[in-house]
Chains A and B, each alone.
Chain A
Amino acid sequence: NAGVTQTPKFQVLKTGQSMTLQCAQDMNHNSMYWYRQDPGMGLRLIYYSASEGTTDKGEVPNGYNVSRLNKREFSLRLESAAPSQTSVYFCASSEVWTGPYGYTFGSGTRLTVV
């Protein structure tokens, strides 16, 4: 099925370790996004890429970096993980940055930092 694929689905890290969350979409969408969701909270935007070759900060970018590798792939990197980064991470994509188009979300990466 067409959609957004995130890997890994689960990850446990020790404080200070680094890791990269991978996201790929096969819908030829131009825009991609990374959100995090903490327990009982709504989703908060970390970074987004309006189009291939561009990235920009969202609401909570501190402690993260992103790479728009090509049109299909958008990765999120934690350089030095902290317990406050324990969360569920969702990648999403949309046809274009503006316009009333819906977002398609992946199924999430559940990250625990101990």
Chain B
Amino acid sequence: DAKTTQPNSMESNEEEPVHLPCNHSTISGTDYIHWYRQLPSQGPEYVIHGLTSNVNNRMASLAIAEDRKSSTLILHRATLRDAAVYYCILRDVSGGSNYKLTFGKGTLLTVNP
């Protein structure tokens, strides 16, 4: 199964950009890259997903390396409300071995005021 590797924790300052890295060197052609976050005492929340091209939405941007072996979630201006665990997950939309959404331990993002 294709897996992802994320740092256990990162720190940022409020109103500064945050770049959260994810490595997925064994990604397959039908694996979408999904990002979720989980705020304290809440359920996970969908953030963004992409396949090959960079993606932007109101919450964040997703930058995908040309070889697709890594990606970066970008929060353009971190706020205290962005403090959460961020999960990078591969999901095989062809119904292959990664079709289930499988959560690792993620990256704990701390935002300093």
Contact = CB atoms under 8 A, between A and B. Distances in A.
B29 to A, nearest CB: 13
A61 to B, nearest CB: 13
Nearest to A45: B100
Interface string A94-105: 000111101111
Interface of A: 4, 33, 35, 40-45, 48, 58-59, 90, 92, 97-100, 102-108
Top 7 A-B pairs ranked by shortest CB distance? A105-B43, A102-B46, A42-B103, A43-B103, A100-B32, A90-B43, A105-B44
B82 to A, nearest CB: 18
Q: What DSSP secondary structure best describes chain B's contact surface? A: loop
Contact of B101 (A4, A103, A106): A103
Contact of A97 (B36, B41, B43, B99): B99
A106 B103 CA distance: 16
23 contacts: A33-B101, A42-B103, A42-B105, A44-B103, A48-B100, A58-B100, A90-B43, A92-B44, A92-B101, A98-B94, A98-B99, A99-B93, A100-B32, A100-B49, A100-B51, A102-B34, A102-B36, A102-B49, A103-B101, A104-B46, A105-B45, A106-B43, A107-B42
B95 A98 contact: yes
Given A42-B103, A100-B34, A107-B43, 13 more contacts: A4-B43, A40-B105, A43-B103, A45-B101, A59-B100, A92-B101, A98-B95, A102-B34, A102-B46, A102-B49, A103-B44, A103-B46, A108-B41
